[in-house]
Structure 1
Amino acid sequence: MRNSLISEPPSTSHRFLVGRDHEGRWIARDERGSTGGVFADKASAIHFAETESDHRAGCVSLAPDDARLSLFN
């Protein structure tokens, strides 16, 4: 009997980082820099990131409290 390897298609979900910018607004941005947003509160930023990453476990991380994110870096 011959073994065959079945490979899964590459994941299309994004990995996100959520944290505050230098003005205290909440930022959610993906690691590729292809999508993200500025939000009024943490819950909204996390909701966006979870939705954009298809709710996959481990795709959303919180930045350390002392880190300041930018949507463009």
Structure 2
Amino acid sequence: MLAGEIAGKTIINALENNDMTLLGQYETRTRRLLGRPLARSLVKRKKLDRYCASNELLQRHLPEVWATFEEYWA
């Protein structure tokens, strides 16, 4: 939802100013807002994929790779 809101505001700004080069601001704004959380999610997802190879590994490490657990955010 946040990326969509940023996209909408960026498009409106570009149209109002009749300057389509302003569309380039979308990536900068999105990375500034979502870059760190998305990077964390990617790291956690790669770990989750490895842990899924074994039920034992998954049960042991699930709290560190699933966002609903406090350990995920540590």
Name the TM-score, length of structure 1 as normaliser. 0.25
- Give the greater-gyration-radius structure (CA): 2
Larger fraction in helix: 2
Larger fraction in strand: 1
